[in-house]
Amino acid sequence: MNGKSFIYGVLIGGTIAGISALLTTSESGASRRAKIKSTAHSVQLTIEELKQEAIHIKDQVTQVMEEGKATVGNIAEEIKVSVDLWQNSIKPHQESIQQNIANLQEELENLEKKLAKNTAE
């Protein structure tokens, strides 16, 4: 069996099945066409509703993203201000600590010199 005769067999079988289904149906052609038309219209309305919902969701996502950007910008600015305030508030303490460290190093050097002098005598 070659491919051509197989395709012919499928087409002829499909045609016979379609004709027999139409002849044995309990509905008239006009009724069936009306039903198909109604179903097609219903599907079209559903697709339109889904399209509108998708547009609405897209708009909401865009709005949330814009609000998020604004919020992140505000938070970043507030954090920067807080860090600046903190740095300014610890500056005197930082300078004092650095001065104390310098004094301790100087005293340690003096003690080392005295110790070296006392052990040399």
- 63 closest CA partner among 74, 75, 71: 71
Question: What is the count of structural domains for the chain?
Answer: 1
The verdict on residue 94 lying in a domain is: no
Residue type, 85: L
Q: Are 25 and 32 in contact (CB under 8 A)?
A: yes
The verdict on residue 71 lying in a domain is: yes
Predicted confidence (pLDDT) per residue in 62-80, tens digit: 999 999 888 888 898 999 9
| Secondary structure class of 87 (helix, strand, coil) | helix
Predicted confidence (pLDDT) per residue in 78-99, tens digit: 999 999 998 888 888 888 889 9
State the maximum Cα–Cα separation within the chain, in Å, rounded to a whole number: 131
* Phi, psi dihedrals of residue 28, rounded to the nearest 5°: -80, 165
Residue type, 31: S
Predicted confidence (pLDDT) per residue in 6-53, tens digit: 888 888 988 888 888 777 777 777 787 788 788 888 889 999 999 999
CA 13 to chain centre: 52
The verdict on residue 55 lying in a domain is: yes
Tokens representing 53? 């919902």
The verdict on residue 100 lying in a domain is: no
- 33 closest CA partner among 43, 22, 19: 22
State percent of the chain over pLDDT 90: 32
The verdict on residue 95 lying in a domain is: no
What is the span of the domain harbouring residue 8? 3-85
Burial (CB count <10 Å: 0-12, 13-18, 19+), residue 48: exposed
The verdict on residue 49 lying in a domain is: yes
Q: Which pLDDT value is given to residue 1?
A: 56
What's the pLDDT band for 121 if we cut at 50, 70, 90? Answer: low
